[in-house]
């Protein structure tokens, strides 16, 4: 009986330790309240300053957070520069030149290191900067649980297999998001981020010229819209700087126009348009398009961003707090 009692006490102690570790590992709203109380205001001010000169960076920062979380989790690995012996995520053909806003993260990090050296992670800066970008383009304010640590690995070889592609069908998209713990509803909600920002022509030009239709474009693409895009992205052009807005109606405002565009066959990517034509997601597209001012969708979007921001995070003693976001310590 004494032995049994000892075993029970030991097991109880182990359970308490495990429970404490879980609590310690959880992200928390207000994580920097005592260690760097000005952290969130510093980040917001840098985002505000950047967007004042280039509002398009808002979409860049949201996209960067998404690309960070879907590759290795939300660990800031997308921020790491390539070196002589390693090509990093940011230099994948998918991310370069489409990702932008790295200088915003750098500027925020410089100020944070001056105010609270070695405290605020680059992964948290990116998550908070994405939130601020959402708010500053018309989204609702939401709290971001923080406490992420920075990863030490960034591999170009992991990008293609980790990110959903612009030609994916709904089944492929659903599997991609499900592998990150996100539902199909959250997938459709997060896809609404395409209501802001732009895309390089190379990501969708095959929809304009490579089909055996009368005009050569994807028959699921509205003809007038296709003609407009062909003017912006001429066939055979080698100009890699050519871009088109994801949502020409309101390219700098986070709203539900993206879903209305899909119902009019004006989705830029094949993966966008597939959401409106596949029976498993078409109802969600219609529901979001009919959301009026979009406040219900904006709240759903905020909740989905919070959930996405917790994919495979490093916490506690894992990872590190980088001194510079572009380089591991």
pLDDT digits 0-9 by tens, 191-203: 999 999 999 998 9
Q: Is the pLDDT of residue 321 over 70?
A: yes
Summarize pLDDT for 51-93 with one digit per residue, the tens: 999 999 999 999 999 999 999 999 999 999 999 999 999 999 9
Q: Is the pLDDT of residue 17 over 80?
A: no
Nearest to 275 by CA among 180, 158, 195: 195
d(CA 130, CA 40) in angstroms, rounded, equals 12
> What integer is the mean pLDDT of 28-52?
98
Q: Name the band, by pLDDT with cuts 50, 70 and 90, for residue 292.
A: low
Find the angle CA(281)-CA(283)-CA(287) to the nearest 5 degrees. Answer: 120
Q: Is the pLDDT of residue 113 over 90?
A: yes
CA 45 distance to own-chain centroid:
20
d(CA 135, CA 40) in angstroms, rounded, equals 13
Summarize pLDDT for 115-167 with one digit per residue, the tens: 999 999 999 999 999 999 999 999 999 999 999 999 999 999 999 999 999 99
Calculate the alpha carbon distances from 104 to 159, 196, 242, 247, 270 in Å: 22, 18, 23, 24, 31
Coil, helix or strand at residue 149 = strand
Coil, helix or strand at residue 161 = helix
Rounded percentage of the chain residues whose pLDDT exceeds 90:
84
d(CA 83, CA 316) in angstroms, rounded, equals 28
Nearest to 148 by CA among 325, 264, 319: 319
Pure H helices in 54-183: 57-70, 102-115, 122-136, 159-162, 170-178
Let me know: does 253 contact 195? Beta carbons within 8 Å.
yes
Name the phi and psi angles at 268, rounded to 5: -70, -50
Coil, helix or strand at residue 245 = strand
Coil, helix or strand at residue 200 = strand
Summarize pLDDT for 238-278 with one digit per residue, the tens: 888 899 999 999 999 999 999 999 999 999 999 999 999 99
> What integer is the mean pLDDT of 304-324?
98
Q: Is the pLDDT of residue 205 over 60?
A: yes
pTM of model > 0.85:
yes
d(CA 42, CA 48) in angstroms, rounded, equals 10
Let me know: does 144 contact 29? Beta carbons within 8 Å.
yes
Find the angle CA(52)-CA(57)-CA(62) to the nearest 5 degrees. Answer: 130
Nearest to 282 by CA among 301, 302, 267, 300: 267
Q: Which residues are catalytic?
A: 67
DSSP 8-state symbol, 164: P
Summarize pLDDT for 116-127 with one digit per residue, the tens: 999 999 999 999
* Average pLDDT score, the chain: 91
Let me know: does 322 contact 150? Beta carbons within 8 Å.
yes
Instruction: Assign residue 265 a region (left: φ > 0; alpha: ψ between -120 and 50; beta: otherwise).
Output: left
Question: For residue 124, what pLDDT is reported?
Answer: 98
């Amino acid at each position: 009986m004494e032995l049994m009692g000892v075993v029970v006490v030991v097991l109880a102690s182990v359970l308490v330790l495990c429970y404490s570790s879980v609590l310690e590992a959880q992200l928390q709203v207000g994580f920097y309240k005592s260690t760097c109380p000005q952290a969130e205001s510093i980040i917001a001010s840098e985002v505000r300053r950047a967007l004042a000169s280039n509002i398009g960076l808002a979409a860049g920062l949201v996209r960067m957070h998404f690309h960070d979380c879907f590759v290795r989790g939300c660990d800031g690995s997308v921020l790491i520069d390539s070196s002589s012996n390693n090509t990093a995520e940011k230099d994948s053909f998918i991310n370069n030149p489409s990702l932008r806003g790295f200088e915003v993260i750098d500027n925020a990090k410089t100020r944070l290191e001056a105010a609270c050296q070695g405290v605020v992670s680059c992964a948290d800066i990116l998550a908070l900067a994405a939130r601020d970008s959402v708010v500053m383009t018309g989204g609702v304010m939401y709290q971001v649980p923080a406490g992420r640590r920075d990863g030490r690995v960034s591999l170009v070889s992991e990008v293609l297999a980790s990110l959903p592609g612009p030609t994916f069908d709904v089944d492929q998209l659903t599997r991609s998001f499900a592998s990150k713990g996100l539902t199909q509803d959250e997938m459709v909600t997060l896809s609404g981020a395409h209501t802001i920002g732009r895309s390089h022509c190379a990501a969708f030009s095959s929809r304009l010229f490579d089909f055996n239709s009368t005009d050569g474009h994807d028959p699921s693409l509205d003809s007038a819209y296709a003609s407009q895009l062909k003017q912006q992205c001429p066939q055979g052009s080698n100009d890699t700087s050519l871009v088109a807005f994801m949502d020409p109606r309101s390219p700098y405002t986070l709203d539900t126009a993206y879903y209305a565009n899909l119902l009019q066959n004006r989705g830029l990517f094949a993966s966008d348009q597939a959401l409106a034509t596949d029976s498993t997601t078409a109802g969600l597209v219609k529901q979001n398009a009919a959301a009026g001012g979009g406040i219900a969708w904006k709240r759903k979007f905020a909740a989905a961003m919070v959930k996405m921001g917790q994919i495979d995070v490093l916490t506690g003693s894992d990872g590190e707090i980088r001194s510079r976001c572009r380089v591991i310590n």
